[in-house]
């Protein structure tokens, strides 16, 4: 599928269900809400090597998520996309479901003014989790955290975040990144939000070469108790970090700056 404008459709504006199918240079718009209906932007239902490329998704009156990657998708890539989600309740920008296979999100911008999660990566947090890469992706906006505290919420293991930038200034405990999946890597990037910018609730996390800042002066990094083998290195953490009891915590070459 190449080009075209897809607008205000139910239950999704575009749906892919075949191997090697793709969406390229499309524009998806939801600016007229239909009560009682779900108007997702793009729905990836099943198949292998699905690709969403250079596509605009503009949900000024959101009535569903921008992109949903469902359980029967074996592999998908979202690349060079621009996503806007306006004010609304419990909508997501991109959601990757629990049983979804491998997913790449590259060079994609999400502007999020709603109260849900701009990006949520679900999983079982075990060795069966398929890998997810998030590279050179930006998330911004003023949507508050009342229906989704984290700009990025990750419950899948072995996810890699590379050169990701999150700047979210909404209230209601809005956080930039919260990790619940073990053995995730956060490598490079900027994480700024109103509450704690990065929150770790997992084992084996590696955070390196990042800048993290809380807009309201809290510790930019919070580490929950009961977890182990967390490494933070070569980073700038404004306000320091709050460690609730992490076993085998390694802090190496980290600048702990005051406001």
29 assigned to some structural domain = no
Q: Using pLDDT thresholds of 50, 70 and 90, give the confidence band for residue 91.
A: confident
CA distance 19 to 42: 16
pTM: 0.97
* Window from 32-36, 188-192, 218-222 with minimum mean pLDDT: 32-36
Looking at the predicted structure, is the pLDDT value of residue 88 above 90?
no
In a domain, 99, yes or no: no
Helices (H), 114-243: none
* Number of alpha carbons in the 13 Å side-chain half-sphere of residue 123: 25
pLDDT one-digit tens code per residue, 93-127 = 999 999 999 999 999 999 999 999 999 999 988 87
Q: What is the pLDDT of residues 120-172, one digit of tens each?
A: 999 988 877 899 999 999 999 999 999 999 999 999 999 999 999 999 999 99
Asked whether residue 61 is assigned to any structural domain, the reply reads no
pLDDT at residue 34, rounded to an integer: 86
Q: Is residue 77 part of a domain?
A: no
pLDDT at 128: 78
For 125-145, give one letter per residue: b (16+ CB within 10 A) or e.
Answer: beeebbebbbbbbbbbbbbbb
In a domain, 16, yes or no: no
- What's the pLDDT score for residue 257? 77
Indicate the number of domains in the chain: 1
Separation of CA 90 from chain center: 14
**Position 97 in a domain:** no
Does residue 32 belong to any structural domain of this protein? Answer: no
Q: What percent of the chain has pLDDT over 90?
A: 91
- Give yes or no for residue 259 having a pLDDT over 70: no
Is 241 within the bounds of a domain?
yes
User: What's residue 109's pLDDT?
Assistant: 98
Domain that holds residue 211: 115-257
Q: Please give the pLDDT value at position 85.
A: 97
């Amino acid at each position: 599928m190449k080009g075209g404008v897809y607008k205000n459709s139910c239950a999704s504006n575009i749906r892919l269900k075949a191997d090697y199918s793709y969406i390229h240079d499309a524009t998806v718009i939801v600016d007229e809400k239909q009560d009682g209906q779900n108007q997702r932007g793009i729905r990836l239902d099943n198949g292998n090597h699905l690709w969403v490329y250079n596509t605009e998704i503009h949900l000024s009156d959101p009535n569903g998520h921008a992109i949903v990657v469902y359980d029967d998708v074996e592999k998908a890539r979202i690349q060079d996309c621009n996503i806007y989600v306006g004010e609304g309740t419990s909508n997501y920008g991109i959601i990757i479901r629990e049983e979804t296979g491998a997913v790449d999100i590259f060079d994609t911008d999400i502007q999020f003014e709603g109260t849900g999660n701009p990006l949520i990566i679900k999983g079982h947090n075990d060795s069966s989790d398929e890998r997810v890469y998030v590279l050179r992706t930006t998330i911004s906006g003023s949507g508050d955290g009342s229906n989704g505290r984290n700009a990025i919420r990750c419950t899948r293991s072995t996810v890699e975040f590379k050169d990701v930038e999150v700047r979210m200034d909404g209230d209601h405990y809005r956080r930039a990144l919260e990790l619940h999946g073990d053995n995730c890597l956060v490598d490079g990037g900027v994480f700024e939000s109103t509450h704690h910018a990065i929150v770790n609730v997992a084992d084996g996390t590696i955070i390196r070469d990042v800048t993290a800042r809380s807009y309201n002066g809290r510790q930019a990094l919070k580490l929950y108790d009961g977890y182990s083998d967390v490494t933070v290195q070569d980073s700038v953490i404004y306000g320091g970090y709050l460690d609730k009891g992490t076993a085998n915590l390694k802090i190496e070459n980290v600048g702990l700056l005051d406001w």
